[in-house]
Chains A and B, each alone.
Chain A
Amino acid sequence: MTSLDPIQVFRTEAAELFEQIETGLLDLLNDLSDQATIDAVFRGLHTLKGSGSMFGFEALAAFTHHCETAFDRVRKGQVPATAELVAAVLDAQDHMKALVSTPNGDHEEASNRLLAALQAAAGEPSAHATVVAAPLPKAVAAEPSKTGGKGFRITFRLPVNAMANGTNPLGLLDELQELGSCTVKADLSTVPTLDALEPTDLHIGWTLDLITDKGRDAIDDVFIFVMDDMELTVTELAPPAPAAAQEASAAAAPAPVAEVAAKADAPKAQAADAKHGAKQAENVRVPAERLDELMDRVGELVIAQSRLSQLAGSSADIHLRAVSEDVERLSGELRDTMMVLRMVPVGSLFGRFRRLVHDLARETGKVIELETEGETTEVDKTVIERLADPLVHLVRNSVDHGLEPPDERVASGKEKTGRVILSARQSGGEVIITIKDDGRGVNRERVRAKAEASGLIQPGQMLTDQELLQLIFQPGFSTAAQVTNLSGRGVGMDVVKKTVEALRGIIDIRSEPGRGSEISLRIPLTLAIIDGLLVRVGSGSYVIPLSAVEECLELSLEDDLRSRGRSFISLRDNLVPFLRLRELFETGTPPDRYQKMVVISTGDERVGLVVDQIIGDHQTVIKSMSKLHHDVVTFSGATILGDGNVALILDVTHLVAVGQQQEAHLRAAG
């Protein structure tokens, strides 16, 4: 097993913290007085600073310290949270990401510029123009309290492996001493003899008497990294008599008035964190590549199981058959469990669009509200990763081309605020993600004019509304009169469509002039293993994804002869085009006497595939086509059968499109 790179671990943790902070900041824009959200953002910044410092990202820690300070002032009510401050911290956060990715880069100028903006937004005097890599505040020597704050007795013992894991107990003590007047006493009672000492273990505990005006939360914040595993007791002390206040630090132990164990209070802090997506202790972080490795192994197991089933099926040994059935059941369960492991909520993808929309609103001057629905819908992690860029483009497109400027919306009787709704829902083996806006809708006249001008269609060519709308997915097509930074470069929608189709998905568009547009992406839940229908065409075996199969029919010789030349079959009063795969694949073999037709569909469109034999269902481990075959459009991949032979997996989307073209040609021919 390979050991984890601590820097990479920090980067992963930082990415989650950035997401948490960003979510908090964007939530805050909805209610600038929400104290829980302000606390959550502060906590995120505090953790980032501490973690950064621990892992040697000093520039990040120093820079984040200023953002944390700004939010600390908000937290304490010294300055109000404002949209300007949130925007400044969002900008600063982008810079923090750069400090994480390239800690040794030249960031000084950007740091100073952003901190100046932050100070202006936070209403701070610009006392420090050059603050990059400024050391974190050093511990102040304990001195008698002049603040008249609350007294706490803090007794703590860190996990025995704390030092080995990078926690610096002295740093925690320094932070506690920064909170106010403090005396510290080390407890050496459990230090073992030298021969029994594991030298990196920690056996020292501490007791502190602290007088602070910063409250209990500030104490908890110090232990934020180690709270879960440590022993911590915080006891509120009776307020010292005014005359004795100066001697508080040297006083004998004051009487406890309330004792609260840290573990009892921890849920309060954790509940706030959980609201903002923080990971709970029971989660295990696993590198994505290990999941991929496991998936590959499961795939190989499924193939081996398939071979075993085939052998058992041809054997008279009932014991072998029983074992084979057990293995088949177990491998199926293992596959299902594996699939669940790879599933991640689509909310992790949606989260980033809140920031995108916030930035787009600033850039365009439009007033935009983003709504998200179905964030808990789960999709294979690979699907999530590949969908990110297409969705960014679609959201940009909605904002740039769809939503009107506020005055135009008001003039047309709409609300000033334009809405973009991003939603996800599961439907069978697919997830449907839609991007909907209430903007001006697609301008059909402009689409037609552009398509005619670029030769995509003939002048005056008859097109259905759907065909016209689908033109926007053609390469090089853009109706934007003005190219902007957001979209309109004509390089987006065709790439979006290709990406979706590469995921074996379908893209669909609906648009109503003046009311808005809706683009739907139908994507399979997983890309790794699918249930397939194994068929024979000529001497070759092929797999049709079972999720696309509607029904199977027998194509009698009479029906075949009758339909020749038209390749249509009447299915419950609907004409369905069909493709003879034997001819399409040029097998050179005569048709089977009892040919079968497998009717497949994508959305509302159907097509029949004529095959020689339907063999049965098949757990299909998808293997990518080689680079030599990347331009083969009829097949989306290949799989290995139980007998070791290879079967090609049919690209349903492509075949349906071919069938629809065939139908269109025949209709055009009358």
Chain B
Amino acid sequence: MTADADHTASDGAEAHRLVLPSSLSIRQAGATRELILAALQESGVVLLDVPDDAEADLSFIQIVEAARRQVVSHGGSVALAHPASGSVLTTLERGGFLHEMTAEDQLFWFHRKEAA
């Protein structure tokens, strides 16, 4: 089951696939936040499509985590269109996000249903 289908099913709404730009560093952090916020307001269920060649840094991980808190607080859903890879995965590794990951985090970032 894909994340797309998962979230569409669980929220009962059509997911809005938000294709993000390749530049996801702190320089574009403001724009990235606005894009995701707008998508959440528009649809409530958002699939973040991170390009394979994306250049993401810690600010992007923080924005995604903030978006996850946003949907918990305000309703809706957010998910990654693909499991984390490339610079997103590298940043997660370097930033210590993979240590003692919860099942929920595993599902969100890697689409795995079982905790490691």
Question: Whole-angstrom distance between the alpha carbons of A173 and B73 in the complex?
Answer: 31
Judge if A204 is at the interface, Cβ distance under 8 Å. yes
- Known contacts being A163-B26, A185-B100, A192-B66, is A197 close to B33, with CB within 8 Å? yes
Contact A193 B99 (CB under 8 A): no
Question: Whole-angstrom distance between the alpha carbons of A193 and B94 in the complex?
Answer: 23
**Which B residues, 2 to 29, have Cβ-Cβ distances below 8 Å to chain A?**
26, 29
Question: Whole-angstrom distance between the alpha carbons of A194 and B73 in the complex?
Answer: 10
Residue-wise, chain A 191-214 has the 8 Å CB interface mask toward B (1 for contact) of: 111111101101110101000000
* Complex contacts, A204 vs chain B, CB 8 Å: 58, 62, 95
Judge if B65 is at the interface, Cβ distance under 8 Å. yes
Q: How far is the CB of B3 from chain A (nearest CB, A)?
A: 19
For B30, the closest partner residue in chain A by CB is A199
* Complex contacts, B29 vs chain A, CB 8 Å: 199-200
Judge if A169 is at the interface, Cβ distance under 8 Å. yes
Contact B70 A169 (CB under 8 A): no
Contact B69 A199 (CB under 8 A): no
Contact A194 B58 (CB under 8 A): no
Residue-wise, chain B 85-113 has the 8 Å CB interface mask toward A (1 for contact) of: 00000010011110110000000000000
- Known contacts being A169-B58, A173-B96, is A199 close to B91, with CB within 8 Å? no
Q: Pick the contact of B63: A186, A188, A194 (CB < 8 A).
A: A194
Contact B62 A184 (CB under 8 A): no
Q: How far is the CB of B10 from chain A (nearest CB, A)?
A: 20
For A173, the closest partner residue in chain B by CB is B94
**Which A residues, 31 to 88, have Cβ-Cβ distances below 8 Å to chain B?**
none
Q: How far is the CB of B47 from chain A (nearest CB, A)?
A: 16
Chain B: number of interface residues, binned into ranges: 20 to 34
Contact A170 B63 (CB under 8 A): no
Contact A163 B58 (CB under 8 A): yes
* Complex contacts, A184 vs chain B, CB 8 Å: 95-96, 99
Residue-wise, chain B 50-80 has the 8 Å CB interface mask toward A (1 for contact) of: 0000000111001101110110011000000
Judge if A434 is at the interface, Cβ distance under 8 Å. no
Contact B40 A194 (CB under 8 A): yes
Contact B95 A194 (CB under 8 A): no
Contact B95 A186 (CB under 8 A): yes
For B95, the closest partner residue in chain A by CB is A186
For A201, the closest partner residue in chain B by CB is B62
For B90, the closest partner residue in chain A by CB is A170
Q: How far is the CB of A194 from chain B (nearest CB, A)?
A: 4
Residue-wise, chain A 201-229 has the 8 Å CB interface mask toward B (1 for contact) of: 01110101000000000000000000000
How many residues of A are in contact with the other chain, CB < 8 A?
Answer: 27
Contact A194 B96 (CB under 8 A): no
Contact B33 A170 (CB under 8 A): no
Interface centre among B29, B58, B96 (most CB of A within 10 A): B96
- Known contacts being A193-B70, A194-B70, A197-B62, is A186 close to B97, with CB within 8 Å? yes
Contact A193 B73 (CB under 8 A): yes
Question: Whole-angstrom distance between the alpha carbons of A191 and B61 in the complex?
Answer: 11
Contact A186 B96 (CB under 8 A): yes
* Complex contacts, B45 vs chain A, CB 8 Å: none
Q: How far is the CB of A323 from chain B (nearest CB, A)?
A: 52
Question: Whole-angstrom distance between the alpha carbons of A199 and B99 in the complex?
Answer: 24
Q: How far is the CB of B72 from chain A (nearest CB, A)?
A: 8
* Complex contacts, B37 vs chain A, CB 8 Å: 194-195
- Known contacts being A184-B99, A199-B30, is A191 close to B66, with CB within 8 Å? yes
Q: How far is the CB of B21 from chain A (nearest CB, A)?
A: 14
Contact A163 B59 (CB under 8 A): yes
**Which A residues, 260 to 301, have Cβ-Cβ distances below 8 Å to chain B?**
none
Judge if B36 is at the interface, Cβ distance under 8 Å. yes
Judge if A139 is at the interface, Cβ distance under 8 Å. yes
Contact A200 B95 (CB under 8 A): no
Residue-wise, chain A 159-199 has the 8 Å CB interface mask toward B (1 for contact) of: 00001100011100110000000011110100111111101
Question: Whole-angstrom distance between the alpha carbons of A208 and B95 in the complex?
Answer: 11
For B65, the closest partner residue in chain A by CB is A191
* Complex contacts, B99 vs chain A, CB 8 Å: 183-186
Q: Pick the contact of B67: A164, A194, A202 (CB < 8 A).
A: A194
* Complex contacts, A206 vs chain B, CB 8 Å: 95-96
- Known contacts being A173-B96, A184-B95, is A191 close to B57, with CB within 8 Å? no
Interface centre among B57, B58, B91 (most CB of A within 10 A): B58
For B37, the closest partner residue in chain A by CB is A194
Contact B32 A199 (CB under 8 A): yes
For A170, the closest partner residue in chain B by CB is B94
- Known contacts being A194-B36, A204-B62, is A170 close to B30, with CB within 8 Å? no
* Complex contacts, A194 vs chain B, CB 8 Å: 33, 36-37, 40, 63, 66-67, 69-70
- Known contacts being A194-B40, A199-B30, is A174 close to B70, with CB within 8 Å? no
Contact A193 B66 (CB under 8 A): yes
- Known contacts being A186-B96, A193-B69, A193-B74, is A170 close to B62, with CB within 8 Å? no
- A192-B69, A200-B30 known, 10 other contacts, Cβ within 8 Å: A170-B58, A170-B95, A185-B99, A191-B69, A193-B66, A194-B69, A195-B37, A197-B33, A200-B26, A202-B62
The 10 nearest A-B residue pairs measured at CB:
A184-B96, A199-B29, A194-B70, A194-B66, A193-B70, A197-B66, A199-B33, A185-B99, A186-B96, A194-B67
Question: B residues near A, CB below 8 A?
Answer: 26, 29-30, 32-33, 36-37, 40, 57-59, 62-63, 65-67, 69-70, 73-74, 91, 94-97, 99-100
Some 13 contacts from A to B, beta carbons below 8 A apart, are A169-B95, A170-B57, A183-B99, A184-B96, A191-B65, A192-B69, A194-B33, A194-B36, A199-B29, A199-B62, A199-B63, A204-B58, A204-B62
